[in-house]
């Protein structure tokens, strides 16, 4: 075993004109979340506890698109989704269509541990939340003034707002990033306004146990009832014996490529190392889609890859390595 490791993300694809102050806010939040995870790992908490703890922190802060600060549906409401997976025995839980659950990732874990199912959605998930006694809030709690403004822009443009733009170069590993001016067009609709993105955390503890968790409010101006990749095990989230992965970006492309599971698959079947597997999957499985992901291995390695313009991300390992970045 190579010791514990942790990675966290706040979304792939960043407006190159994002104000410097907003970039610094994002880095501070990612650093705070890493410190929470590091402290938990040093205290010998299992990886599954660590990823839940970190994602709860991200859901509570309105900076990124999960929990409070989630993107709004076409009706101006919030519908959140999340998933969590424990590498040992590949246990998992997922939820969609949440409108009152303060921390969706924790309800996903309760689905995993307190129900006979792996996935609950909409009214069934809300009823399960009430039965489990989780903290509930009004839908207005999740809505921010900034996102109300973004929804207005989306409706005026008759488009769905994403937060990623095509980078100057194709595949980006963790050490490379570039700005771009050309907006991405999807299904003939322009995507040219910054919006927040999905959050996620992956960790491996000192016992070599991997876990992953992902949470999101989805797309700005999405249709009600839309489900993305984040709650889909094998697409947006996956953890097994070899690694843990959390994805972010164009959900429909991530779903088609079963992106998270494919990283583990090429490690298992092709014998690739963690970063090799991440690079292969981002390059070969997204087709024309735009996304990114973070990953840890049971050997204490961290990795990421993206073909978007930047990705909010942070990493730390037991040997003292720590890095938080957006572009480079």
Q: What is the pLDDT of residues 289-311, one digit of tens each?
A: 999 999 999 999 999 999 998 99
Whether residue 148 is predicted with pLDDT greater than 70 in this model: the reply is yes
Name the helix (H) or strand (E) containing 9.
strand 5-12
pLDDT tens-digit readout, 85-126: 999 999 999 999 999 999 999 999 999 999 999 999 999 999
Q: Classify residue 32 as exposed, middle or buried by CB count within 10 Å of its CB (0-12, 13-18, 19+).
A: middle
| Residue 176, domain member (yes or no) | no
Whether 153 is in a domain gets the answer: no
Per-residue pLDDT at 184 exceeds 90 = no
Of 326, 324, 59, the closest CA to residue 179 belongs to: 326
Terminal-residue alpha carbon distance, the chain: 29
Tokens of 21: 């102050």
Q: What mean pLDDT is reported for the chain? A: 89
Using DSSP's 3-state secondary structure scheme, residue 33 falls into: helix
What pLDDT is recorded for position 14? 87
**Residue 160 counted as domain residue:** no
- % of the chain at pLDDT higher than 70: 88
Does 209 show up as a binding residue in the annotation? no
Q: Is the pLDDT of residue 194 over 80?
A: no
CATH of the domain at 307: 3.60.20.30
Q: Is 227 annotated as a binding residue?
A: yes
Gap between the Cα atoms of 17 and 257, Å rounded: 30
Looking at the structure of the chain, the number of domains it has is 1
22, part of any domain: yes
Strands 172-173 and 302-306: antiparallel
Chain centroid to CA 29: how far? Answer: 15
Q: Is 248 annotated as a binding residue?
A: yes
Residue 165 among known ligand-binding residues: no
43: which residues sit within 8 A by CB, 6+ positions away?
Answer: none
Marked catalytic residue, from 73, 198, 214, 216: 198
Residue 66: inside a domain: yes
pTM of the predicted model over 0.85 = yes
180 within domain boundaries: no
Does 160 show up as a binding residue in the annotation?
Answer: no
Question: Domain of 47?
Answer: 5-140+194-319
Task: Report yes or no on 147 lying in a domain.
Answer: no
- Going by C-beta distance under 8 Å and a sequence separation of 6 or more, which residues neighbour residue 212? 51, 84, 85, 200, 201, 202, 203, 237, 238, 239, 244, 245, 246, 260
Q: Is 198 a catalytic residue?
A: yes
Kindly report the backbone phi and psi dihedral angles of residue 180, in degrees, each rounded to the nearest multiple of 5, phi listed first.
-145, 155
In a domain, 182, yes or no: no
Contact in structure between 40 and 50 (CB atoms under 8 Å)? yes
CB 295 within 8 A of CB 263: yes
Average pLDDT over residues 237-249: 97
Angle at 167 between CA 226 and CA 221, to 5 degrees: 25
* Long-range contacts (CB closer than 8 Å, 24 or more residues apart) made by 182-190: 184/290, 186/160, 186/162, 186/250, 189/157, 189/158, 189/159, 189/160, 190/157, 190/159
Out of 71-75, 148-152, 182-186, 298-302, which region has the weakest mean confidence (pLDDT)? 182-186
């Amino acid at each position: 075993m190579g010791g514990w490791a942790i990675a966290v993300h706040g979304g792939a694809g960043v407006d190159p004109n994002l104000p410097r102050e907003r970039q610094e806010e994002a880095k501070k939040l990612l650093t705070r979340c890493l410190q929470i995870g590091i402290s938990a790992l040093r205290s010998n908490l299992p990886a599954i506890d660590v990823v839940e703890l970190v994602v709860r922190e991200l859901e509570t802060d309105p900076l990124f698109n999960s929990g409070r600060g989630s993107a709004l549906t076409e009706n101006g409401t919030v519908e959140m989704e999340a998933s969590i997976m424990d590498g040992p025995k590949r246990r998992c839980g997922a939820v969609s269509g949440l409108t009152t659950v303060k921390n969706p990732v924790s309800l996903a874990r309760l689905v995993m541990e307190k129900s006979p199912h792996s996935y609950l959605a909409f009214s069934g998930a809300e009823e399960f939340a009430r039965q489990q006694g989780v903290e509930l809030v009004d839908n207005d709690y999740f809505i921010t003034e900034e996102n109300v403004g973004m929804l207005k822009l989306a409706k005026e443009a008759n488009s769905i707002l994403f937060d990623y733009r095509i980078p100057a170069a194709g595949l980006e590993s963790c050490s490379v990033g570039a700005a771009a001016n050309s907006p991405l067009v999807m299904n003939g609709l322009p995507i040219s306004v910054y919006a927040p993105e999905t959050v996620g955390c992956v960790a491996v503890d000192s016992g070599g146990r991997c876990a992953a968790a992902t949470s999101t409010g989805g797309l700005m101006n999405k249709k009600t009832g839309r489900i993305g990749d984040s709650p889909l095990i094998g697409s947006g989230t996956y953890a097994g014996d070899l690694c843990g992965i959390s994805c972010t970006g164009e959900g429909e492309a991530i779903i088609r490529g079963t992106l998270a599971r494919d990283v583990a698959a090429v490690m298992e079947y092709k014998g690739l190392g963690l970063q090799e597997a991440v690079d292969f999957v981002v390059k070969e499985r997204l087709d024309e889609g735009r996304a990114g992901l973070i990953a840890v291995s049971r050997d204490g390695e961290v990795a990421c890859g993206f073909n978007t313009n930047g990705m909010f991300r942070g990493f730390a390992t037991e040997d003292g390595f720590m890095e938080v970045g957006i572009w480079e």
